[in-house]
Amino acid sequence: MKRYILTGTPGAGKTSILRVLGTQGYGVVDEAATAVIALGQARGEAEPWSRPSFVDDIVALQRQRQTRTSGAANIQVYDRSPICTHALSTYLERPVPASLSAEIDRITRGGIYERQVFFVRNLGFCEPTAARRISFEDSLEFERVHEESYRAFGYELVDIPAGNLTDRVAMIRESISRLTA
What's the total number of domains in the chain? 1
What is the arrangement of strands in the sheet containing 2-8, beginning at the earlier edge strand? 27-29, 75-79, 2-8, 116-120, 156-160
77 close to 173: Cβ distance less than 8 angstroms: no
User: pLDDT tens track of the chain, all 181 residues?
Assistant: 899 999 998 888 999 999 999 999 999 999 999 899 989 999 999 889 889 999 999 999 999 999 887 556 789 999 999 999 999 999 989 999 999 999 999 999 999 999 999 999 988 776 766 565 677 788 788 899 999 999 999 999 999 999 999 999 999 999 999 999 8
Supply the range of the domain harboring residue 137: 2-180
Residue 93 and residue 59: Cα distance in Å, rounded? 17
18 close to 28: Cβ distance less than 8 angstroms: yes
Residue 10 and residue 176: Cα distance in Å, rounded? 23
pLDDT of residue 129: 64
CATH code, 133: 3.40.50.300
Query: pTM here?
Result: 0.90
pLDDT of residue 68: 85
pLDDT of residue 127: 72
Q: For the chain, what is the largest distance between any 2 Cα atoms, rounded to a whole number of angstroms?
A: 48
pLDDT of residue 123: 81
Return all residues near 66 (Cβ < 8 A) that are at least 6 apart. Answer: 3, 29, 78, 107, 112
79 close to 19: Cβ distance less than 8 angstroms: no
Give me the sign of the Cα torsion angle 131, 67, 102, 122. Answer: negative
48 close to 40: Cβ distance less than 8 angstroms: yes
Helices (H), 124-164: 136-152
